[in-house]
Amino acid sequence: MAQIFSVKRRLLLTLISACLVIVFLELAARCIAWLPYLARTKDMIPCHELGWKTVANAQLEDRFDVYGKVKYSTSKYGFRVFGDISSKKPKVFVIGDSQTQARKVTDGKTYYEVLGKIADCEIFAYGAGGYGTLQEYLVLEKYLEDIQPDLILWQFSRNDIHNNSWILESSGFASSNHMMRPYLEDNRVVLRYPHRSWVYRNFWRHSYLIKMFHIKLGLLLSTNKGRIPNRIFSLENPDFLEAVMTTREVISMARDRANPVPLVAFCSSRFPNSVQAKAIKRLCSAAEIPFIDGVAEAIGEAESKGIAVNGLPYDAHWNDTAHQIAGRLLAAYLIDNKLMALTKDHVDGRSKETTKWLP
């Protein structure tokens, strides 16, 4: 009898010890995750409304492979640039994802700051890594009245379509960034975690330890298995077609919300002929949103001439040079198409300055 009691006690002590170890590891994982936020060395933080958002009034200096030393700062509300609302100059509201956040581009050298200098306008730019069209629409909805812009410039990426589908994002490790994200479902915005396991979505995702282990394991597996399969982005895939329809709805919502302010768009994808990039262009055309062609192509042409335009093989995001090319192309389009209130002399002079920089 005493022997049985001793065995039970050892088992109980082992169980308690295991629980204490798990609790300790969970606390350690949470400290690892939150210390950068407390030390203000992170550029984004979780957000219930948007899933995540950029940190407001950030002041960061880092050195990145290929990109070099970068001074990154944000203004109020997490905007990379928040101009003067009371200015008499034309005001341009720029929304986008990581290309617009431009985490590896120094202050003053982003494409919209280049555009602002050429077109002599006030810039209000908000972008966050991993954002999809719905999050960008929600940013537009939130700040449109405060800014009251004369023009809205919308930067798209080719992953914007599958970002609008919980089914596609939860189809594999490489399909999402493993954070709560808003999705448009049945005309409602819902916040969901992109994972097909009901247990993981509702319980395990609350554990920083399990989530960290899941991401590390996923990185290992995805390295062996490669990127998202191209078959996912096939027009024969009903889930992809549904994502296209959802994206069309979000784009229409943004157009209607922006009205009567002009809304123009462009795509920054390195693969302008991909199914996703072509679909985005068609969706904008269907919504009667002017689409600026040639940005990705001009940067690709510069790259083909041996000019460094990104951080590959480490990172495909644009560097300072690509932002210069994009900013001048966008300025040329906006000025030449008289989408901003500029004088004829200003238009003629700026157009000449812009075109000489094209590759």
SS3 293: coil
Question: Among 117-121, 139-143, 311-315, 354-358, where is mean pLDDT lowest?
Answer: 354-358
Architecture of domain 42-355 in this structure: 3-Layer(aba) Sandwich (3.40)
Mean pLDDT of 280-288: 96
For 83, other C-beta atoms within 10 Å of its C-beta total 20
Which range has the worst mean pLDDT, 92-106, 197-211, 338-352? Answer: 338-352
Q: Which pLDDT belongs to residue 86?
A: 94
| Distance separating alpha carbons of residues 140 and 126, to the nearest angstrom | 9
pLDDT, mean over the chain = 84
Query: What pLDDT shows up at residue 231?
Result: 66
Ranges of H-type helices in 39-123: 98-101, 111-119
Q: How far apart are CA 11 and CA 8, in angstroms?
A: 5
Instruction: Tell me the β-bridge partners of 62.
Output: 70
How confident is the model at residue 351, as a pLDDT? 40
Confidence of residue 233 (pLDDT cuts 50, 70, 90): confident
Closest C-alpha among 262, 266, 288 to residue 277: 266
Q: Which residues of 144-168 are buried (b: 16+ CB within 10 A; e: fewer)?
A: beebebbbbbbbbbbbbbbbbbbbb
Indicate if the pLDDT at residue 55 is higher than 70. Answer: yes
Residue range 223-232: mean pLDDT, rounded: 56
Question: Mind giving me the DSSP string for 4-71?
Answer: HHHHHHHHHHHHHHHHHHHHHHHHHHHHHHHHHHHTT--SEEEETTTEEEEPTT-EEEEEETTTEEEE
Burial class (CB in 10 A: 0-12, 13-18, 19+), 236: exposed
pLDDT category of residue 221 using cuts at 50, 70 and 90: low
Query: Could you count the other beta carbons within 10 Å of the beta carbon of residue 294?
Result: 16
Residue with the bigger pLDDT between 356 and 260: it is: 260
Supply the pLDDT for residue 14: 80
Query: In the chain, what is the straight-line distance between the N-terminal and C-terminal CA atoms, in Å?
Result: 87
